[in-house]
Amino acid sequence: MYRVMLIDDELPVRKLMLSSIDWASLDMEVVGEAASGIEAINVIDDMRPDIAFVDISMPFMNGIEFTEVATKNYPELIIIIMTAFDKFEYARKCVSLPVFDYMLKPMVRTEVTDTLLRAKARLDARLGDRSKSLVFGSAAPQDDSADEGGSVSEQIMRYIEANYTDSCVNLTSVAQQFGFSSSYLSRKFKQETGRNFLEYLTECRMKKAIELAENNVKMYKASAAVGIPDPNYFGRCFKKFTGKGYSEYVR
């Protein structure tokens, strides 16, 4: 079953997409949502989508900026840009990237379904090509080689502690930094630490956020300082970690 992610700062749009499309009949499931490009970049490694619907107008990291980052880190991700009519030409001109399609808001269910069927055909073709490669023994080798230079996770943890303030730090960027695939690094980190990569990255950011809250730093400044420039996403992370809202914690 193919995995779909919905990235739009308008909750009603995401809810409508969820309810109006017969995902199961397309052999698809919606595995995650995000209200901004920043939030999407932070959770995309856990979601592992095959297809992403991306709104072009979002705060802190718009759809074009997200597409630039996502297509660099996930070259096979199928991206469908969603845009209002007055920004349609802007979207087409600005995104000189491998965007699968552009869809006008408000979107029509039949048009969305047709687009998804075309996306599914591309994904099916990729699977076929990979199967042929496996049959003829030309699949790329796995990178499960023995670790060198000490525990991979110890190195990763030190790297995160030194770089968590960078909003672009996520599983994929760190894996590339150390020469591993995302799946290998994720599995290795979980085996050696008992937690997943995003949990540790968020923990580092939230521990610093607590220090800032205790010093009465405003939330929008604290969110930027810890590598989560989207205050809404930062607020959700902070409350999940501490059990209190940021403003409540400051008080």
**pLDDT digits 0-9 by tens, 7-61:** 999 999 999 999 999 999 999 999 999 999 999 998 898 899 999 999 988 888 8
Give the per-residue pLDDT at 136: 59
Shared-domain flag, residues 10 and 130: yes
> How many structural domains does the chain have?
2
Give the per-residue pLDDT at 87: 67
Residue 97 CB neighbours (<10 A): 13
Taking only the tens place, the pLDDT of each residue in 112-122 is 999 999 999 99
CATH number of the domain that residue 246 is part of: 1.10.10.60
Residue 144 resides in a domain: no
Give the per-residue pLDDT at 178: 83
Residues in the chain: 251
> What pTM did the predictor assign?
0.71
Residue 147 resides in a domain: no
Shared-domain flag, residues 131 and 73: yes
Give the neighbor-by-neighbor strand order of the sheet with 101-105.
28-34, 2-7, 51-55, 78-84, 101-105
Least confident of 86-100, 106-120, 233-247: 86-100
Q: Is the pLDDT of residue 145 over 50?
A: no
CATH number of the domain that residue 109 is part of: 3.40.50.2300
Question: Last residue of a domain, which of 74, 103, 135?
Answer: 135
Residue 193 resides in a domain: yes
Shared-domain flag, residues 124 and 6: yes
Shared-domain flag, residues 117 and 178: no
Question: Last residue of a domain, which of 100, 135, 170?
Answer: 135
Range of the domain at 167: 152-250
User: What SS3 string covers 32-50?
Assistant: EEECCHHHHHHHHHHHCCC
Shared-domain flag, residues 162 and 128: no
Shared-domain flag, residues 220 and 124: no
Residue 140 resides in a domain: no
Give the per-residue pLDDT at 147: 46
Sign of CA dihedral 199, 3, 34, 161: positive
Least confident of 15-24, 165-174, 234-243: 165-174
Shared-domain flag, residues 131 and 172: no
Shared-domain flag, residues 33 and 61: yes
Least confident of 38-52, 92-106, 192-206, 222-236: 92-106
Shared-domain flag, residues 187 and 88: no
Shared-domain flag, residues 131 and 156: no
Residue 146 resides in a domain: no
Residue 145 resides in a domain: no
Residue 232 resides in a domain: yes
CA dist 136 and 121 (Å) reads 23
CA dist 30 and 66 (Å) reads 19
Give the per-residue pLDDT at 173: 87
What is the band of 144 on the pLDDT scale with cuts at 50, 70, 90? very low
Give the per-residue pLDDT at 184: 86
The structure tokens 């690094």 sit at: 185
Shared-domain flag, residues 78 and 113: yes
Give the per-residue pLDDT at 86: 66
Q: What residue type is 181 in one-letter code?
A: S
Shared-domain flag, residues 162 and 108: no
